[in-house]
Amino acid sequence: MSLNIVFPGATRQLADFVVATNYSDLPQATLDAGRRSLVNFLGVAVGGAHHEEVESALKALHRLGAGGNVPLLGRPDRIDAVNAALINGTSSAVLDFDSTQMKRTNIHPSGPVLPAILAFAHGRAISGPDFIAAFILGVEVACRIANGVFGEHNPGWHVTGVTGGIGAAAAVSKLLGLDAEKTVAAMAIAANQASGLREMYGTACKALTPGRAARDGLLSAMLAAEGVSAPDRPIEGRKGLAMVFTGHEAPRSLTKELGDRYEIELNIFKPYPCAIVTHAVIDGVSRLCAGEEIDPADIAEIQLEVAPIAAELAGHAAPQTALQSKFSLTHAAAIAATHRVARVEHFSDEALHDAGYAALRTSVGVQSRKGLKKNEAHVLIRTNDAKTHELHVEHALGSLERPMSDDDIAEKFLGLVEPVLGGERAHALLGRAIELHMSTDAGSLADYPG
Amino acid sequence: MSLNIVFPGATRQLADFVVATNYSDLPQATLDAGRRSLVNFLGVAVGGAHHEEVESALKALHRLGAGGNVPLLGRPDRIDAVNAALINGTSSAVLDFDSTQMKRTNIHPSGPVLPAILAFAHGRAISGPDFIAAFILGVEVACRIANGVFGEHNPGWHVTGVTGGIGAAAAVSKLLGLDAEKTVAAMAIAANQASGLREMYGTACKALTPGRAARDGLLSAMLAAEGVSAPDRPIEGRKGLAMVFTGHEAPRSLTKELGDRYEIELNIFKPYPCAIVTHAVIDGVSRLCAGEEIDPADIAEIQLEVAPIAAELAGHAAPQTALQSKFSLTHAAAIAATHRVARVEHFSDEALHDAGYAALRTSVGVQSRKGLKKNEAHVLIRTNDAKTHELHVEHALGSLERPMSDDDIAEKFLGLVEPVLGGERAHALLGRAIELHMSTDAGSLADYPG
């Protein structure tokens, strides 16, 4: 049934905004937020670039004859742009350490958007300011749809996969200089590939999802540029994304205050390489054990109260794989009790099978409590002397209320990148990312093989 | 939350069946059905290979640096296997002329499954029997999930895109010789990319959907072969495909009578290159005008009664594009009244803007009537002499009850392929498809550049 369009729909409004907005329109606080997200993304992507899942994905692509000349972050090999987006997006997710926007749902917007524009930028002399604007606008689109459509209604979608590709398509459309009509088409073609199930959480294939979204967003924009047609209302139409994915109409809030505020400013950075909903527990157990000088050997039990969504998303009480241990409140508490921090090596196979952590995990009880926020937790530790120690974490480290500083993020970046690129080149890449607004070739961010 | 799995889930049962079933297990009627689907697919894919959407998609891929050595059906160029699957799947859909399984929902299973195994087979010396078995098993998986999960509950999914890639993944897994566990992983990785919205119907990007599913199914199987892990119950899990896409559990019927009957036998072939739900109308108007010798100039009005789903899926009363004209009961009736048949050229831009057809379209009224089947229609034509002529079509030509014969399908194939390959090579390809069970290299089906 054709609709008579009498006023622009939400998708068109978003596209109009993408077309009309340029680097010079963006407030400094927004640009600062964009820079932090870029640095964090490059850190986690280079840091994850040699993970076994990335190796597996590349082997699979090579066995299918893929090849090309676009560099991969933190790696020596090259591939075509579409698959470079897939691989770099996957690299950024394998450590579960990327930035997150948690306004009304959970989305990791950098993972789909940045790999798409980075692969596109190779050999195209895209300026730093243009690249940064495209990134921020792509994140805007991905997060607005994520929060607007999936904030209240989500039967089990991996939202990064569902709306990330639409944001990536918008970002590449911006770099291609597409008009609003073609930008809508790019977003629609990406919406037609929107996918990702929470059932995958705790398995390796989850990390492919932002890569898949990056790949599809990039190709969608190029298809729209080549004239492939698509519907005018892919998000808000009768059989569009909102109705079909959630059974509810796209809300008007989707386009509210466009340009008055930017979603990227709500992007937050993890201090710990595991599910963000475990952070309040890691923070609380670490601080309680440090402050009260609790030795892990003296712990009789740890009782956690967390938000229902935390109990659900990090509910692997007895994790069976290293990956599941990142989505395990019991493992998070065991690690924090032992080390008063949590690092990449604490979510390895070796750590999973460590008898000390395993024993501590069985001493952890998790209560889901309505009213607690995702970054909130109550921690009670009973020691063998029958004493109880309690701490309430109102806002976990890394939350919007207690964010990582620029220096924290740089330190995180170097911790991840130095082992891959060496100290000198890690510092060089960090400098280039921080000064990207002065670059005439943003694609050269990928010219640091490792 | 880890589940204790005490009995194999539906996905595992499907995978066990795929692993255990070989060419020699397949009944002759099933093999005959497979041959018909293969011939029809090759016809529509070669026939569509130079369509502007295929050209656009290839240009987009080339602009992103894709390249490789896998041949494309009906074309002179080559690309990597993943993108060959994408392009061949798209070619097979651009004419809206591919086979359809309409048991409980609408799915075009060949479009995702065949391009995936054809691209995989290139240079791998896959035997004809192995190729045929993989095809039939992939269709089995795609159709069982389509009918089981989406037969009763479908808020607007383009089912071919949602379950086609899972079938393609199962088919490629079979050719890779994966065990049941890895076949489940392949299906899960594909389920995590399941996508496609009916909002796209009537626009160019719809045709990319089976190609996208073919591509994702192929890569998913290769990722599983490389050891990428995925959940055990991607279809029937708590946050798996059935619950998240439809809000309902996967029914037990999903695996009922596995091996006792084959879904491919229900695949039907279109005589007309437009939405299958328009076929009863084309059939009825054609026969009525032929039988009663009605001249289109004498028609005052055409009243159609059709199933609600036909009115919905082919509801473009005043189509604005050539593509929309394929999803237009009014255009279908106008063409049938004029030509007493419908061919590819009747859904072109030229036909769309033909004043005679346009006038006829405005004389058509469409009533949606509950109880009518998809392949049923009641046609009433009132001529300028105030006489009325009526015909009830119980089963449209091309339905399961009135199927196209092998000769009809061969004629359709040649009509589509001869303009691309020439008569001699069209006949050679047809012969090779019909005798594929004797081939030692099924991938050579793609060795007919056009």
Pairing relationship of beta strands A299-306 and A364-368 according to DSSP bridges: parallel
**Dihedral (CA of A325, A330, A335, A336) sign:** positive
- Angstrom distance (rounded) from CA B190 to CA B187: 5
Specify if A403 maps to a domain.
Answer: no
Q: Return the amino acid letter for B210.
A: P
Structure tokens given for A341: 């921090």
- Listed in order, strand segments (DSSP E) in B123-274 are 267-268
Same domain membership, residue B63 and residue B45? yes
**Which of residues A366, A393, A420 is at a domain's end?**
A393
Mean pLDDT (chain B) is 95
Between chains, do A155 and B243 touch, taking CB under 8 Å as contact?
Answer: yes
Q: Which residue of chain B comes nearest to A233, CA vs CA?
A: B199
Q: Which band of pLDDT confidence, cut at 50, 70 and 90, is reported for residue B2? A: very low
| Model pLDDT for residues B401-419, shown as the tens digit of each residue | 999 999 999 999 999 999 9
Q: Which residues of B touch A1 (CB under 8 A)?
A: 312, 315-316
Between chains, do A226 and B157 touch, taking CB under 8 Å as contact?
Answer: no
What is the ipTM for the molecules in this complex?
0.92
> Is B258 touching A (CB cutoff 8 A)?
no
Which pTM was predicted?
A: 0.93
Q: Which residue of chain A comes nearest to B70, CA vs CA?
A: A65
Pairing relationship of beta strands B78-79 and B70-71 according to DSSP bridges: antiparallel
> Is A4 touching B (CB cutoff 8 A)?
no
Smallest Cβ–Cβ distance between B2 and the set A189, A228, A320 belongs to A320
pLDDT for res B356: 96
Q: Which residues contact B129 (CB under 8 A, 6 or more apart)?
A: B22, B23, B24, B437
| Model pLDDT for residues B215-240, shown as the tens digit of each residue | 999 999 999 999 999 999 999 999 99
Shortest Cα distance from A98 to chain B (angstroms)? 20
Specify if B2 maps to a domain.
Answer: no
Smallest Cβ–Cβ distance between B223 and the set A56, A191, A192 belongs to A56
Specify if B400 maps to a domain.
Answer: no
If you average pLDDT over residues B120-136, what whole number do you get?
Answer: 98
**Helix ranges, B226-321 (H):** 241-246, 279-291, 308-313
pLDDT for res B58: 98
Secondary element (H or E) of residue B184: helix B180-191
pLDDT for res A7: 65
Q: What is the DSSP string of B388-402?
A: EEEEEESS-TTSSSS
Interface test with B, best of A195, A215, A220 (most B CBs within 10 A): A195
The candidate with the shortest Cα–Cα distance to A268, out of A165, A143, A419, is: A143
Same domain membership, residue B222 and residue B114? yes
Shortest Cα distance from A261 to chain B (angstroms)? 30
Between chains, do A244 and B157 touch, taking CB under 8 Å as contact?
Answer: yes
- Listed in order, strand segments (DSSP E) in B386-443 are 388-393
- Other Cβ atoms closer than 10 A to A172: 32
- Angstrom distance (rounded) from CA A83 to CA A97: 22
Query: Domain holding B333: CATH number?
Result: 3.30.1330.120
Q: With contact defined as beta carbons under 8 Å apart, do A172 and A218 qualify?
A: yes
**How many CA atoms are closer than 13 Å to the CA of B336, on its beta-carbon side?**
31
Same domain membership, residue B256 and residue B302? no
Between chains, do B199 and A80 touch, taking CB under 8 Å as contact?
Answer: no
Interface of A with B in 293-322 (CB under 8 A): 312, 315-318, 320-321
- Angstrom distance (rounded) from CA A213 to CA A215: 5
> Is A177 touching B (CB cutoff 8 A)?
no
Same domain membership, residue B83 and residue B164? yes
If you average pLDDT over residues B324-342, what whole number do you get?
Answer: 95
- Angstrom distance (rounded) from CA A229 to CA B48: 17
Specify if A198 maps to a domain.
Answer: yes
If you average pLDDT over residues B438-446, what whole number do you get?
Answer: 98
Same domain membership, residue A291 and residue A227? no
Q: For residue A281, give Cα distances in angstroms to A161, A306, A334, A339.
A: 27, 8, 10, 13
Between chains, do A234 and B199 touch, taking CB under 8 Å as contact?
Answer: yes
Same domain membership, residue B174 and residue B112? yes
Same domain membership, residue B264 and residue B293? no
pLDDT for res B104: 87
pLDDT for res B103: 84
Shortest Cα distance from B399 to chain A (angstroms)? 25
- Angstrom distance (rounded) from CA A120 to CA A80: 10
> Is B387 touching A (CB cutoff 8 A)?
no
Structure tokens given for A363: 């001493």
Q: What is the DSSP letter of A440?
A: S
pLDDT for res B7: 65
| Model pLDDT for residues B244-253, shown as the tens digit of each residue | 999 999 998 8
pLDDT for res A102: 84
pLDDT for res A104: 87
Same domain membership, residue B250 and residue B363? no
The candidate with the shortest Cα–Cα distance to A333, out of A373, A277, A385, is: A277
Between chains, do A67 and B63 touch, taking CB under 8 Å as contact?
Answer: no
Same domain membership, residue A246 and residue A310? no
Q: For residue A443, give Cα distances in angstroms to A26, A128, A165, A225, B101.
A: 21, 9, 20, 20, 46
Shortest Cα distance from B427 to chain A (angstroms)? 30
Q: Return the amino acid letter for A384.
A: N
Q: Which residues contact A200 (CB under 8 A, 6 or more apart)?
A: A158, A206, A209, B188, B192, B230, B231, B234
Count A/B contacts: CB-CB distance under 8 Å: 245
> Is A243 touching B (CB cutoff 8 A)?
yes
Residue B384 domain boundaries: 276-393
Q: How many domains does chain A have?
A: 2
Smallest Cβ–Cβ distance between A315 and the set B1, B205, B231 belongs to B1
Query: Domain holding A117: CATH number?
Result: 1.10.4100.10
Q: Which residue of chain B comes nearest to A195, CA vs CA?
A: B193
Between chains, do A195 and B194 touch, taking CB under 8 Å as contact?
Answer: yes
> Is B240 touching A (CB cutoff 8 A)?
yes
Specify if B36 maps to a domain.
Answer: yes
Between chains, do A231 and B202 touch, taking CB under 8 Å as contact?
Answer: yes
Same domain membership, residue B387 and residue B365? yes
Between chains, do B223 and A57 touch, taking CB under 8 Å as contact?
Answer: yes
Q: Which residues of B touch A65 (CB under 8 A)?
A: 68-70, 80-82
Q: For residue B43, give Cα distances in angstroms to A243, B344, B409, B421.
A: 36, 13, 9, 11
Between chains, do B222 and A63 touch, taking CB under 8 Å as contact?
Answer: yes
Same domain membership, residue B354 and residue B219? no
Between chains, do A68 and B63 touch, taking CB under 8 Å as contact?
Answer: no
Three-state DSSP string of A58-70: HHHHHHCCCCCCE
Between chains, do A247 and B247 touch, taking CB under 8 Å as contact?
Answer: yes
pLDDT for res A78: 97
Specify if B3 maps to a domain.
Answer: no
> Is A277 touching B (CB cutoff 8 A)?
no
Specify if B405 maps to a domain.
Answer: no
If you average pLDDT over residues B292-317, what whole number do you get?
Answer: 96
Residues of chain A with pLDDT below 70 are 1-7
Same domain membership, residue A113 and residue A31? yes
β partners of residue A366? A304
The candidate with the shortest Cα–Cα distance to A278, out of A117, A45, A100, is: A100
Pairing relationship of beta strands A377-383 and B70-71 according to DSSP bridges: unpaired
Q: Which residue of chain B comes nearest to A51, CA vs CA?
A: B228
Give Cα A227 to chain centroid, integer Å: 31
